């Protein structure tokens, strides 16, 4: 089997105006992608990125929670080989916080229902591709609940489960389905976390390495790798380690 190669591919990255999404666009552009749809909910925020790669990037207005945006997107795009469901939000909300229900609903809306509706809408195009891939950005907190980000962890667990379901259902299609499970990465989302944080480009590079080698789980940094190893020894070992970090 020939595994996914980004060269000459058409890609779409959600939440591409900053952080990990922006890094994915840059790494794609520097790896020979033919065209990149850079999606963001405010097109003005994409101007610096487009100025760097004006020939291959096309801006797309996309709030992943907005069904009208998703419908318009389908009309704008004629071909797609790679979908990167990256857009996400995180609140420092414990599962027992008074406002946990309200926060959890917002996070699920963006982090789970968003990629779900974007993927369903773009699946017909991906199925037409000779070599396609769907990359879902979950989190190591989606593998085991990180209590300081309790409701966020639940939304990322939903992304992980969705990724598994997609992979099973698309097994007979030419579509690789990959889950990415980062630890803290140096973006606005992890601003308050005082620890070693790799640059977002590392997440993109590790993801494309995994796609090229046919691996389905991406642990893109030392922290996520160590935590996943603990999980593989025993799921409760990671649960306990995360609880102790509270």
Ligand X SMILES: NC(=O)c1ccc[n+]([C@@H]2O[C@H](COP(=O)([O-])OP(=O)(O)OC[C@H]3O[C@@H](n4cnc5c(N)ncnc54)[C@H](OP(=O)(O)O)[C@@H]3O)[C@@H](O)[C@H]2O)c1
State the nearest-atom distance from the C-beta of 34 to ligand X, in Å: 23
Q: Please say which residue, 189 or 211, places its beta carbon nearer to ligand X.
A: 189
Interface residues toward ligand X, by CB under 6 A = 14-15, 17-21, 40-42, 45, 62-65, 86-90, 110, 114, 137, 139, 182, 184-185, 187-190
Indicate the burial class of 97 (C-beta count within 10 angstroms; 0-12, 13-18, 19 or more): middle
Q: Please say which residue, 81 or 186, places its beta carbon nearer to ligand X.
A: 186
State the nearest-atom distance from the C-beta of 22 to ligand X, in Å: 7
SS3 69: helix
Tokens, residue 234: 């025993």
Residue 114's contacts (CB-CB under 8 Å, 6 or more residues apart) are 14, 64, 65, 85, 87
How far is Cα of residue 87 from the mean position of the Cα atoms in its chain? 7
Q: CB under 8 Å, gap of 24 or more: what pairs does 51-58 form?
A: 52/26, 53/25, 53/26, 53/29, 56/29, 57/25, 57/29
Give the active site residue among 37, 152, 181, 231. 152
Contact call for residues 207 and 218 (beta carbons, < 8 A): yes
Q: Please say which residue, 148 or 190, places its beta carbon nearer to ligand X.
A: 190
Q: Please say which residue, 98 or 219, places its beta carbon nearer to ligand X.
A: 219
Annotation marks residue 152 as catalytic: yes
Give the active site residue among 9, 26, 35, 156. 156
State the nearest-atom distance from the C-beta of 188 to ligand X, in Å: 4
State the nearest-atom distance from the C-beta of 174 to ligand X, in Å: 26
Catalytic residues: 152, 156
């Amino acid at each position: 089997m020939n595994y996914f190669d980004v060269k000459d591919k058409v890609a779409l990255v959600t939440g591409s105006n900053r952080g990990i999404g922006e890094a994915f666009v840059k790494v794609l552009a520097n790896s020979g992608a033919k065209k990149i749809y850079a999606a963001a909910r405010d097109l003005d925020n994409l101007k610096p990125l487009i100025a760097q790669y004006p020939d291959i990037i096309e801006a797309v207005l996309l709030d992943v929670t907005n069904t009208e945006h998703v419908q318009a997107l389908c009309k704008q795009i004629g071909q797609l080989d790679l979908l990167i469901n990256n857009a996400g939000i995180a609140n420092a909300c414990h599962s027992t916080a008074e406002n946990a229900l309200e926060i959890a609903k917002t996070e699920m809306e963006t982090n789970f229902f968003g990629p779900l509706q974007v993927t369903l809408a773009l699946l017909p195009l991906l199925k037409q591709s000779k070599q396609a891939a769907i990359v879902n950005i979950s989190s190591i907190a989606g593998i085991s609940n990180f209590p300081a980000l309790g409701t966020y962890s639940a939304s990322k667990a939903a992304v992980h489960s969705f990724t598994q379901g997609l992979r099973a259902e698309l097994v007979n299609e030419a579509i690789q389905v990959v889950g990415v499970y980062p630890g803290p990465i140096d973006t606005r989302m992890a601003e308050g976390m005082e620890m070693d944080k790799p640059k977002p480009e590392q997440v993109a590079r590790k993801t494309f390495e995994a796609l090229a080698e046919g691996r389905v789980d991406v642990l893109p940094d030392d922290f996520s790798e160590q935590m996943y190893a603990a999980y593989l020894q025993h799921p409760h070992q990671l649960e306990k380690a995360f609880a102790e970090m509270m």
